[in-house]
Structure 1
Amino acid sequence: MKQITRNASLVAVPAVLLGLTAPLTASAATPAPSLTWAKCTGTGLDPRQQCATLTVPMDYADPGGRKIDIAVSRIPSEDPGTRRGALFLIPGGPGGSSLNDPSGKGQKLPQDVRDAYDLIGFAPRGLAPSTSVSCGLDRGDLAISKLRPWPAPDGSVAQNMVTARRMADACARNGGELIRHLSTTNEARDLDRLRAALGERRISAWGVSYGTYVGAVYSQMFPHRTDRVVLDSNDNPDPTRVSRAWLAGYEQGVEDTFPEFAKWAAAPGNPDRLAGTATEVRPMFLRLAERLDREPIPWPGANPEELNGNVLRQTLLDSLTRSSSFPALAKLILAARAGTVPPAPAAPPEVVLQNISAVSAGALCNDIAWPTSAAEYQKGVAVSRAKYPLTAGMPRNAMLCAAWPFAPKEPPVRINDQGASNILLVQNERDPATPLAGALKLRRALGDRAVMVTVDSTGHDAYLANGNACGDETVSRFLADGERPAQDVHCTATKG
């Protein structure tokens, strides 16, 4: 393992928790709820997994008001004699669930980690089977290329603003009171209620993607309640932009990652080879996307029911998250070059998409106020399209938050260096969704509270997924034994 000393420019951020008051953050003021564990419903679950329901306030500013349910799960420590505590599996998203993760990715954890912890999963507030929410969006607005909006082929955002108003109006009309109380800070408060219900003085956590922001916010709001915290594939914590910074990160993340796809797509012997050399793949892709802007190909069963330039670009973005998706992307490109399309990809049931979309919208739009000016988005899109043509301006475009009718109920939490030094960041060098550049901003914000493991690997989700053995072993040692590197490290692909 090659050691790299962090630059001394890690400047501490002032110890300020913006907008947080003691009544909102102190769970000790209310009695700890209790949990009744029972066999989980569903298929494919580990028979040891148990499920329960946690009741929490919908509005923590009104703890005696309406209550909502949070679905939780656990697989107890496999060796009670060596049990250390509870490991919360914090999902990405917003809109992701870890309810089945104790049976899923939790079983990839080394034995000594599974011995040390009860593995805890949950469905965040708003996400079924927790008390759920829906915006009742039009089917066409459930397309990923609408939820993560792409400008028109000429770069215009005018239609995006119309779409944003239509979608935001639907959320206001159909989302009920709950959609106004979906936020990262409220998810952190829910997790502290869960900690109390489990009878744990402190918790450990493994947060992934958006879950890294949740984990960082929890560690800031409840620093005395944290044990060992792993943040994997890290979000930029910029308190002035929050979710806007995450969306903007895609432009650099795709640029970081595309060369790996290009090398794969030009490799001799590849049955889905796209070009003779890696340098030819990028211009080929851009030409094809521009052609599909002008001449979309009908795609029955897909949403939208055509393969246009933005659908191709969105498919690229999604496929870069893991190399196992490269062949399907290449097959789509080959088909489109021939004027055809493969069978439409399978999609979750509409009711599931409605739920996920509403939870995502609520958290992204409630955490911070987004600009409402079309001119501001148009200016950003123009700059982004010129500098990052692969993402064609999408990362700086207006999503439904541009027309969100609700003001944030509190300012974002400012992540700083005040708190326990018990955080380990793990980050792939090439990650399209949470790029290294954003992860380094979280590292700087945390200061001496954290150590960062940078992994020479490609894809989203590093630990036990798309990273490498060196990174995995470093994280596992920390969770099992508390052995954290003394300084930031770089994990090459060939060294453990």
Structure 2
Amino acid sequence: MRQKSAKQLFAALTVLILMVATGCALAPRASDSAGRTQDHGGSSRSAAGPVATAEPGEPAPMPSDVPAGLRPYYEQKLHWVKCTSGASFQCAALRVPLDYSRPGGQSIELAVLRLPARDRAKRLGSLVINPGGPGGSGVEYAAAAPWVVSKPVIARYDIVGFDPRGVGKSAPVDCLTDKQMDHYLAIDGSPDNTTEQNDLMKEARFFANGCKARSGAVLGHVSTKDAARDMDVLRSALGDKKLTYLGKSYGTFLGATYAGLFPKRAGRLVLDGAIDPTLSARALGLEQAKGFEVALRAFIQDCVSRKDCPLGSSVSEAYRTIDDFLARTDKTPLKTNDPSRKLTQSLAVTGIIMPLYVKEYWPRLRTAMRSALAGNGSGLLALADEYVERNPNGTYRNNSGEAIVAVNCLDRPDLKSVAQARAEQPAFEKASPRFGSYILWGSLSCAAWPFKPTGRPGPIHAKGAPPILVIGTTRDPATPYDWAVRLAKQLDSGVLLTRDGDGHTGYMQGNQCIDQLVDRFLIDGKPPRSGTECPEG
């Protein structure tokens, strides 16, 4: 396998799912390869061809089915200004209704950033990109465009990112101070008894009450469906008749939701690291727990094959080492180089989880575990801080840890009580002895949430949409490969592309086969045959 360049590694890190839940940085619930053959051929179907676009900055023609109350939003013109010194990036604000059922009521503004196409003469339109989350900043993602999208695509498309409502600079959800967030992330995320479970419920209520008090009216309107409707307003304001889109991780759910709502306005959609929209919160959590366990085993197998593995010389010994270590940190948190912070069990789990997303970080995990086993938790704490985007000075780069809870609690029903979580615990611990409990109890915030969920699990077919490219990675820890298989089957025009490998998502992860097929789809509108597999490398 080729070594990734610094550019490819940066691309990998920018798509870490920003999954932060109560007491841990895990999701609060977002066929055998031997039977497939590698295929670089084209499909008999073609994606929507390049469509005429308005001049950049001019709204697209109005679809006939847009309600009259929404027409002013669809007809708005974006006013672009230079927003990054010494670069070509431009910024604008998109106005959307707070509540789509009341378009004449309050409105909010969404932050938008674009990198104009390098080859203006051959410009195809806009490519809207989303890094996942929920809670990931599309503005920050687009600002990293040279690292997350290929040069041929950057040449032909304006690369556009927006902060979804409730995220970043778009009417952001706010729940806790930075000090409170430190406490929230360090508390025991796998309670061992009734007292600890009830304490965790108190923390969940404190978090939810903080969100309600500090966020305002937007808190009840940050669902994925709301964000998808915002994307259609953005499409129109950008001057594109159809949406061209690259969504990673949770961004696949956002993109699929868009296709389900607006199949006739879907253009070339790439959904990388797919989420199965039919799964309940419970099923999502269970399957993700299994995915992290698979990724941990891959790391352990690699580690014990080396002479310097700090976990031992066999897989079974490595598991015992990790289990004993986590049990010790549960009782006695480790000292770190920061006298004011200790490595709790929850932070240790977060530090272990973070490198499982990106194989190139496995050496850092080996080093951090060696230090932790010797009594210094600084290495794992640093990994945990990177995962939750905590700065060395104790501030947080963004509100991803708050936004993810707000969106997930609206998108589908989740835990309702401590008693329900307690009843589910055996199943989660069986699915993943190391991570299952954290994923389960991490959803407890939804039990205290001040708004009822507005979404429900269900299939998305997007009947009438052109081919939609769905990418799955065989040993993806966060979005298990089977989710991509299922989503591609659900979509009437789904095309499955498989990356054999480790880590999260497939495009721009150092696999030339994947990158070339995605680029051809975006630029020429030619999808690969469904079932195409790209080997590891």
Contact 2:131/2:137 (<8 A) preserved: yes
Q: Identical aligned pairs, as a percentage?
A: 31
Query: Deviation string for 1:439-485 (max 9, x for gaps)?
Result: 33322322x411111111101122102x6222222212211212212
Q: Which residue matches 1:287?
A: 324
**Secondary structure at 2:245's aligned position in 1?**
strand
- How many residue pairs get aligned? The number is 467
Structure 1: gaps spanning 5 or more residues: 5-21
Q: Which residue matches 1:75?
A: 115
Q: Which residue matches 2:524?
A: 481
Segment drifting more, 485-494 vs 199-208: 485-494
Q: Which residue matches 1:378?
A: 422
Q: Which residue matches 1:8?
A: none
- Displacement of 1:164 in angstroms is 1.4
1:151 paired residue among 180, 190, 214: 190
Q: Which residue matches 2:75?
A: 32
Amino acid at match of 1:383: A
Q: Which residue matches 1:227?
A: 267
Contact 2:82/2:91 (<8 A) preserved: yes
**Secondary structure at 1:456's aligned position in 2?**
strand
Contact 2:286/2:431 (<8 A) preserved: no
2:513 paired residue among 470, 476, 481: 470
Contact 1:195/1:203 (<8 A) preserved: yes
Amino acid at match of 2:533: H
TM-score between both structures, scaled by the size of structure 1: 0.86
Q: Which residue matches 2:92?
A: 52
Query: Deviation string for 1:368-387 (max 9, x for gaps)?
Result: 23231222111211222134
Q: 1:57-136, aligned counterparts within 5 Å?
A: 57-136=97-176
1:165 paired residue among 205, 210, 222: 205
Amino acid at match of 1:64: G
Distance 1:353 1:381 in 2: 33
Distance 2:73 2:171 in 1: 21
Distance 1:84 1:203 in 2: 11
Segment drifting more, 115-124 vs 338-347: 338-347
**Secondary structure at 1:129's aligned position in 2?**
coil
Structure 2: gaps spanning 5 or more residues: 1-35, 40-64
> Is 1:338–2:374 an aligned residue pair?
yes
Change (3 A) 1:279 1:94: same
> Is 1:206–2:246 an aligned residue pair?
yes
Distance 1:438 1:450 in 2: 13
**Secondary structure at 1:2's aligned position in 2?**
coil
Amino acid at match of 1:151: S
Distance 2:520 2:277 in 1: 26
**Secondary structure at 1:402's aligned position in 2?**
helix
Contact 1:35/1:197 (<8 A) preserved: yes
Contact 2:113/2:139 (<8 A) preserved: yes
Q: Which residue matches 1:449?
A: 493
1:404 paired residue among 407, 431, 449: 449
Segment drifting more, 76-85 vs 422-431: 76-85
Query: Deviation string for 1:108-132 (max 9, x for gaps)?
Result: 5333322321111111112232232
Q: Which residue matches 1:256?
A: 294
2:236 paired residue among 184, 187, 196: 196
> Is 1:267–2:305 an aligned residue pair?
yes
- Displacement of 1:218 in angstroms is 0.6
Distance 1:246 1:128 in 2: 25
Contact 2:116/2:158 (<8 A) preserved: yes
Change (3 A) 1:388 1:24: farther
Q: Which residue matches 2:7?
A: none
Q: Which residue matches 1:2?
A: 37
Q: Which residue matches 1:320?
A: 356
Change (3 A) 1:492 1:207: same
Segment drifting more, 351-360 vs 259-268: 351-360
Change (3 A) 1:279 1:135: same
Runs of 4+ displaced beyond 6 Å: 22-26
1:360 paired residue among 404, 416, 429: 404
Distance 2:457 2:199 in 1: 29
- Displacement of 1:157 in angstroms is 3.3
- Displacement of 1:251 in angstroms is 1.0
- Displacement of 1:194 in angstroms is 0.8
1:432 paired residue among 477, 485, 488: 477
